[in-house]
Structure 1
């Protein structure tokens, strides 16, 4: 089972979830696309924050980070009883898993792509608020959720490519119209000068016979 929680400290609300045990954490690692939180140097569950398209893992609101850190601390048997627990978080894509690692254990591809939050004490108001939103889904649903997410990304990339194509076409059309407008103005100016140079005024009352 996977436990889902809703954090209402952001708009729209954020989805946070955690596996039932370390074995299900293996499935979360395999089919994740989110931001991973776990206690540093302590045994703990891995808490996942589902990022929205406009969010990046390293610029999350402080209130949302606090929710995730508190939930991570509460899901560590040892960490839940201690003060000043450090929670480490990183993008899912930075998690590194090998066959030699214990169940639920992970490393990092790039240790520099991690952040830490010091959680002094457990905040019962935060934990109670999150617990009231808890729902349960089967871990078997994770692959389909991941595929749906990837399909959404691919669709957005296609839409973005189409927007970019239309923008380029619009810019090209505007440049062409601007160029044609300038060329037309130059032609009209040149024709006007030609008529002025080739014409002759009759203001003096001249007649063709005057030149015979």
Structure 2
């Protein structure tokens, strides 16, 4: 089971989710998406958002939910919550259930939670929805959409480059043949003095 929360402190709203327990969190670790950020709870980044520019109020919502869902952390004040991109989570067979490490410590940020803010936790809990998602299928579908989007962007780029190349070749050809008409037979005949009348010079007097 996965709990989903809606954070309305940002616009458009953001979605935060967390496994019911550490066993459920194992699936979240395995089947997260590239746009997910993990702080024990997960937040799915919105379009144009990156993990290191998440708005402060949304970070606070995530941190408060993390504290509220931690048996030990919920009892203490002044705790530090760490968060990182999902892709930076590192998991191997030697780790306990729900335990993770990181590939790159430089991609880990910290936020201090001085105390539990019941107003925040209660607001988020009112939006909580329980679901039994097929995380593997969701990840495969997301990967498929990403591939299609990348393919579309690649095709558009290639078509644009082809058009630009055609335009460059056309301009090059036009420059190379700019004086072709000037030296055509008809133009040469019109500019020749050979077939003019005897008094053609009078036109200049």
TM-score for the superposition, normalised by structure 2: 0.85
Q: Deviations over 1:82-122 (max 9, x none)?
A: 22211111111111111111111100111111111112222
Q: Does 1:153 align with 2:136?
A: no
The aligned counterpart of 2:130 is: 136
Distance in 2 of aligned mates of 1:53 and 1:154: 17
Q: Deviations over 1:18-50 (max 9, x none)?
A: 00111111111111111110xxxxxxxx20111
CA offset at residue 198 of structure 1? 5.6
Query: What are the residue-to-residue correspondences of 1:1-212 with 2, within 5 Å?
Result: 1-33=1-33, 34-37=36-39, 46-139=40-133, 141-188=134-181, 195=188, 199-200=192-193, 203-205=200-202
The aligned counterpart of 1:40 is: none
| 2:182 and 2:188 in contact (8 A); partners too | no
Change (3 A) 1:189 1:79: farther
RMSD of Structure 2 on Structure 1 (CA): 2.3
Number of residue pairs the alignment of both structures matches: 196
- Is there any run of 5+ residues in structure 2 with no aligned partner, and where? none
TM-score for the superposition, normalised by structure 1: 0.83
Change (3 A) 1:23 1:4: same
Distance in 2 of aligned mates of 1:188 and 1:154: 51
Structure 1 stretches of 4+ with a deviation exceeding 6 A read none
